[in-house]
Amino acid sequence: MFPFIVSVKNMNNILDADIIKKIHELPALSAVVTELLSSIDHEEIDVDSIATKISHDQALTAKTLRLANSSFYGMQHKINSIQEAIAILGFRSVRTLITTTAITGSFARGHTSRFNFQSFWRHSIATAVCAKQLASHVKANQDYAFTAGLLHDIGKLVLVTRYTEQYEQVMLQRAEQDSYILDAERAILTTDHAAVGKVLTAYWKFPEDMQNAVAHHHDIDQANEGMLTAIVHIADILTHALDLSEDEEALVPVISCSAWDKLRLTQEISAKVFRETEKQFEEICQILIN
């Protein structure tokens, strides 16, 4: 009867092309971080050259060294330089620390009354720490797992900072219907943070298995994406169960039995992962987000 009237839901539809455009408008990661990311799948790296470039960024260096000297690594003496950190911890670990520092500083906090940025980063960091513990258990790459865990919900930051009004509606629906945030996103936006996170991690040129872990950490049974996705899926759920985000409205997702079996988890092992995650988590949060 009135063809010019469009429903609110349709007005909120977010097209893939628009998401890509918004992502390309984001501030780029620094040149040294981009170089570090490009080195993930390569063995021959000029470590001395990269260490020198990192050292020129004083803020990045300071936060990286604070992480290197945290109880997370349990060093017996203080690490005073990036070169020393690489010599003691190894290049892969230092690359993970620098990437972590860059990612957590890459989004300015948006003007929204409902989205809690502090809770977001607490959960992301907790998932990263837990994923590293799980990777150690199954003898997978711990640095990969940590980074994938940190990135798993990164699409939320794209949505909340670039589609603020629409995401307010998402948060309102989640609260009113006591639903999972993923379901509220799909209902209001016809996309979700996992899909958007996949686009962002592809743009940042993270390895494909990390992109897939971000894209499928909620639907692993349908995706059949392998060990890294299973690790991130389980880490996400365990840290929700521990309530480390301090988000009163967050619900614990349903766990995938196939992912649990893939990681060969037992009650004893999961209890150990719980303890280690809680022990290491707060100090890293203090360094990265406070």
CATH (domain of 119): 1.10.3210.10
Are 137 and 51 in a shared domain? Answer: no
Answer yes or no: are the C-beta atoms of 154 and 201 closer than 8 Å: yes
CA distance 198 to 201: 5
The pTM of the whole model exceeds 0.75 = yes
Domain edge (last residue) among 74, 105, 136: 105
Q: Does residue 13 fall inside a structural domain?
A: no
Model pLDDT, residue 41? 67
In this structure, which amino acid lies at residue 86? I
Are 78 and 161 in a shared domain? Answer: no
Q: Does residue 149 fall inside a structural domain?
A: yes
Are 150 and 245 in a shared domain? Answer: yes
Q: Does residue 230 fall inside a structural domain?
A: yes
Are 37 and 120 in a shared domain? Answer: no
CA distance 216 to 188: 20
Q: Does residue 237 fall inside a structural domain?
A: yes
Are 128 and 170 in a shared domain? Answer: yes
Are 210 and 228 in a shared domain? Answer: yes
Structural domain span for residue 263: 112-289
Model pLDDT, residue 223? 55
Q: Does residue 46 fall inside a structural domain?
A: yes
Burial class of residue 264 in the structure, from the number of CB atoms within 10 Å of its CB (0-12 exposed, 13-18 middle, 19+ buried): exposed
Are 62 and 199 in a shared domain? Answer: no
Burial class of residue 211 in the structure, from the number of CB atoms within 10 Å of its CB (0-12 exposed, 13-18 middle, 19+ buried): buried
Longest dimension (CA), the chain: 75
Model pLDDT, residue 106? 79
Are 79 and 147 in a shared domain? Answer: no
Are 50 and 177 in a shared domain? Answer: no
Are 44 and 99 in a shared domain? Answer: yes
Answer yes or no: are the C-beta atoms of 111 and 164 closer than 8 Å: yes
Structural domains in the chain (count): 2
Indicate the helix (H) or strand (E) that contains 102.
helix 91-104
pLDDT per residue of the chain (290 residues) written in tens, 0 to 9: 323 222 333 345 666 778 888 888 877 777 888 888 777 766 667 788 888 888 888 888 898 898 889 888 878 889 999 999 988 888 888 888 888 888 888 777 766 778 989 899 999 999 999 999 999 999 999 989 999 999 999 999 999 988 999 999 999 999 999 999 999 999 999 899 999 999 999 988 888 999 999 999 998 766 566 899 999 999 999 999 998 888 877 888 888 988 998 999 998 999 999 999 998 888 888 888 86
Are 63 and 207 in a shared domain? Answer: no
CA distance 95 to 50: 10
Are 127 and 77 in a shared domain? Answer: no
Model pLDDT, residue 217? 94
Domain edge (last residue) among 45, 74, 105: 105
Domain edge (last residue) among 84, 105, 126: 105
